[in-house]
């Protein structure tokens, strides 16, 4: 087949404008498709997050601004069997609804942060964070969006923090948050939050049964002044993003539609290319090209076009996803759009599959060309 590559490539180049348009169409299709899949992957990452962490929230409340639990619940929860660590967290966000550029502050006891998060600082220092009341460490994605560097001061409403460091995490969603001291957020002017927190994050022992412990926690506070609603972190995040989950389900169809569009585009191009060359294929067959060889030539053309266009779209999507730090957030939970190897692999696989599918009929038509009538047709 390699011997025929110059012919195939030159054929694709024969109608440059048409080839480039089809190529671009394939690229755009895969670009959009990658975004859709990345959205789904981001959601899956959040909702499937380890069962071994529970989030305790005020019952029947949704936005973090409305959930107020006693901070000292942590002492009670800590004593329950199966619990290994409890972190009281105050959440502050500038926007509770689904939005793209949400700023979320998580106030935690500074000495506990490193125990429950895998953060690595790319600049700044932990000491700076731990020793200053108004210090915050900023996720890489926020830092990039807001152009923040250590030493900068950053305000949202009444909250002003000094950037002590920028962190990265295996969990890309975390890179959309800012972590501060718990006390600092509780003392936000205008909010009377001292002694209360938004939620408690409960780290379980590996042997504990998450739903069992969750029940026990809610049971324990049922009679108390404030009732709780405890869920695994995955379920909690899925509930926070509930509105988005449906939307993301819809975008799936958008992704498939893009692939369908690409298939039709390549099919059309292939048919045009074959129709242009009825005589040429008859000449090739006269020379001794078999029907199956002509079939293979057209298929190769189709797959090359589809693959090249698709791969370009995938590369572009991966580049944008890796560098733009895009995230959708709702109720202080962020869904990060990041590239992944499976994403790229699926994209490449689909590009090739579409090339094969869209090549089939035109290639068959070309392979079945009756030589003499094709030569006689002027």
Contact footprint for other proteins (CB under 8 A): 3-4, 6-7, 10-11, 13-14, 279-280, 283-293, 371-372, 375
Q: Which does 291 bind (CB under 5 to 8 A by kind): other proteins, ligand ADP, none?
A: other proteins
Instruction: Give the shortest CB-372-to-ligand ADP separation in angstroms.
Output: 5
Instruction: Give the shortest CB-371-to-ligand ADP separation in angstroms.
Output: 10
Instruction: Give the shortest CB-375-to-ligand ADP separation in angstroms.
Output: 10
Instruction: Give the shortest CB-371-to-other proteins separation in angstroms.
Output: 4
- Under rule CB under 6 A, residue 372 binds ligand ADP: yes
Q: Which does 315 bind (CB under 5 to 8 A by kind): ligand ADP, other proteins, none?
A: none
Residue 218 to residues 58, 215, 221, 225, 228, Cα–Cα distance (Å): 10, 5, 5, 12, 5
Q: Count CB neighbours of 343 within 10 A.
A: 21
Backbone phi, psi, residue 369, to 5°: -50, 125
Instruction: Give the shortest CB-303-to-ligand ADP separation in angstroms.
Output: 34
The residue among 249 and 373 lying less far from ligand ADP, judged by its C-beta, is 373
151, 195, 342, 373: which one binds ligand ADP (CB under 6 A): 373
Cα 144 to chain centroid distance, Å, stands at: 17
Q: For residue 150, with 0-12 CB atoms within 10 Å meaning exposed, 13-18 middle and 19 or more buried, which class applies?
A: buried
Non-local (6+) Cβ contacts of 377 within 8 A are 278, 279
Instruction: Give the shortest CB-299-to-other proteins separation in angstroms.
Output: 17
Instruction: Give the shortest CB-362-to-ligand ADP separation in angstroms.
Output: 23
Q: Which does 63 bind (CB under 5 to 8 A by kind): ligand ADP, other proteins, none?
A: none
The residue among 65 and 374 lying less far from ligand ADP, judged by its C-beta, is 374
Q: How large is the greatest C-alpha to C-alpha distance in the chain, in angstroms?
A: 93
The residue among 187 and 279 lying less far from other proteins, judged by its C-beta, is 279
Residue 82 to residues 53, 79, 239, 305, 351, Cα–Cα distance (Å): 11, 9, 24, 57, 48
- Under rule CB under 6 A, residue 378 binds ligand ADP: no
The residue among 250 and 287 lying less far from other proteins, judged by its C-beta, is 287
The residue among 11 and 351 lying less far from other proteins, judged by its C-beta, is 11
The residue among 275 and 290 lying less far from other proteins, judged by its C-beta, is 290
Q: Which does 375 bind (CB under 5 to 8 A by kind): other proteins, ligand ADP, none?
A: other proteins
Detail the DSSP E strand segments found in 157-297. 159-168, 177-181, 196-197, 199-204, 228-232
The residue among 151 and 373 lying less far from ligand ADP, judged by its C-beta, is 373
Non-local (6+) Cβ contacts of 45 within 8 A are 171, 172, 173, 336
The residue among 257 and 374 lying less far from ligand ADP, judged by its C-beta, is 374
Instruction: Give the shortest CB-27-to-other proteins separation in angstroms.
Output: 24
- Contacts of 293-298 with CB under 8 Å at 24 or more apart are 294/363, 294/366, 294/367, 294/369, 295/363, 295/364, 295/366, 295/367, 296/1, 296/363, 297/4, 297/7, 297/8, 297/363, 298/270, 298/273, 298/274, 298/359, 298/362, 298/363, 298/366, 298/367
- Under rule CB under 6 A, residue 17 binds ligand ADP: no
> What is the contact surface with ligand ADP in residues (CB under 6 A)?
372-373
């Amino acid at each position: 087949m390699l011997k025929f590559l110059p012919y195939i490539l030159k054929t694709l180049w024969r109608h440059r404008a048409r080839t480039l348009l089809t190529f671009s169409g394939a690229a755009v299709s895969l670009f959009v498709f990658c975004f859709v899949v990345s959205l789904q992957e981001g959601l899956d990452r959040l909702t499937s997050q380890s069962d071994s962490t529970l989030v305790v929230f005020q019952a029947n409340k949704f936005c973090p601004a409305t959930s107020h639990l006693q901070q000292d619940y942590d002492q009670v929860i800590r004593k329950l069997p199966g619990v290994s660590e409890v972190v009281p967290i105050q959440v502050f966000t500038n926007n509770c609804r689904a939005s793209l550029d949400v700023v979320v502050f998580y106030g935690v006891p500074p000495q506990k942060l490193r125990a429950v998060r895998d953060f690595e600082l790319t600049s700044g220092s932990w000491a700076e964070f731990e020793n200053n009341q108004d210090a915050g460490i900023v996720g890489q994605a926020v830092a990039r969006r807001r152009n923040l560097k250590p030493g900068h001061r950053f305000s949202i409403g009444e909250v002003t923090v000094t950037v002590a460091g920028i962190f990265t995490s295996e969990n890309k969603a975390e890179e959309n948050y800012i972590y501060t001291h718990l006390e600092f957020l509780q003392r936000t002017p205008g909010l009377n939050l001292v002694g209360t927190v938004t939620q408690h994050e409960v780290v379980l022992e590996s042997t504990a049964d998450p739903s069992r412990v969750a029940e026990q926690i809610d049971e324990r506070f049922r009679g108390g002044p404030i009732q709780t609603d405890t869920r695994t972190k995955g379920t909690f995040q899925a509930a926070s993003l509930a509105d988005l989950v449906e939307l993301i389900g819809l975008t799936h169809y958008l992704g498939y539609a893009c692939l369908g569009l690409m298939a039709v585009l390549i099919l059309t191009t292939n048919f045009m290319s074959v129709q242009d060359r009825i005589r040429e294929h008859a000449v090739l067959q006269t020379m001794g090209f078999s029907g199956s060889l002509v079939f293979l030539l057209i298929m190769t053309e189709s797959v090359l076009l589809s693959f090249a266009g698709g791969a370009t779209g995938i590369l572009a999507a991966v580049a944008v996803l890796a560098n733009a730090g895009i995230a959708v957030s709702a109720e202080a939970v962020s869904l990060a759009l990041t590239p992944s190897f499976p994403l790229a692999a699926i994209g490449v696989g689909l590009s090739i599959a579409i090339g094969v599918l869209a090549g089939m009929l035109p290639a068959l038509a070309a392979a079945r060309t009756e030589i003499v009538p094709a030569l006689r047709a002027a």
